[in-house]
């Protein structure tokens, strides 16, 4: 049996959102599911997140956000991904996201939105199914 390349996931926190318990839990869960995870830490800029994604050659960029700025931050990340020609990477968002904003996020190009009610298995399955290797 050949060894399959591990999925590489960047988990990021952008802006002044200072709570990262959920992001750390997600990163740990994805690691335990066999993925290689890189956590950027708190209070990163969009440029720092995209730079890390390029340097780490990730398959997935995950944004954890609780601050309510999910629409504007996601738009900025997607724009920067396009500028840096990494818009072929899977971009997912998780956190406290109002249900009415989920269609808006998906319309702008977010592959999936995981709210506080989403299960970890759902997230793992989505990533495994949708990463383009």
* Exposure of 11 in the CB half-sphere (CA atoms within 13 A): 25
The rounded distance, in Å, linking the Cα atoms of 20 and 43 is 10
The rounded distance, in Å, linking the Cα atoms of 73 and 68 is 9
3-class DSSP state for residue 119? coil
Name the phi and psi angles at 107, rounded to 5. -65, -30
Does domain 8-130 fall under CATH 1.10.1060.10? My reply is no
DSSP strand pairing (8-12 vs 90-95): unpaired
The rounded distance, in Å, linking the Cα atoms of 104 and 125 is 23
pLDDT tens profile 2-61 = 456 899 999 999 988 778 898 999 999 999 999 999 999 999 999 999 999 999 999 999
pLDDT of residue 16: 81
What one-character DSSP code corresponds to residue 44? B
Name the phi and psi angles at 29, rounded to 5. -60, -45
User: Structural domain boundaries of the chain?
Assistant: 8-130
pLDDT tens profile 76-109 = 999 999 999 999 999 999 999 999 999 999 999 9
The rounded distance, in Å, linking the Cα atoms of 83 and 118 is 31
pLDDT tens profile 105-131 = 999 999 999 999 999 999 999 999 999
pLDDT of residue 133: 62
Say what the pTM is.
0.94
């Amino acid at each position: 049996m050949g060894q399959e390349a591990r999925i590489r996931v960047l988990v990021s926190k952008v802006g002044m959102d200072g709570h990262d318990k959920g992001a750390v839990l997600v990163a740990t869960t994805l690691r335990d599911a066999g993925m290689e995870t890189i956590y950027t830490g708190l209070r990163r800029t969009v440029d720092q997140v995209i730079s890390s994604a390029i340097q780490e050659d990730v398959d997935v960029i995950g944004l954890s956000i609780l601050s309510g700025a999910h629409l504007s931050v996601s738009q900025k990340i997607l724009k920067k991904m396009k500028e840096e020609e990494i818009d072929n990477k899977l971009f997912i968002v998780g956190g406290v996201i109002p249900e009415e904003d989920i269609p808006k996020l998906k319309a702008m190009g977010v592959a999936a939105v995981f709210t506080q009610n989403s299960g970890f298995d759902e997230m793992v399955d989505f990533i495994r199914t949708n990463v383009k290797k």
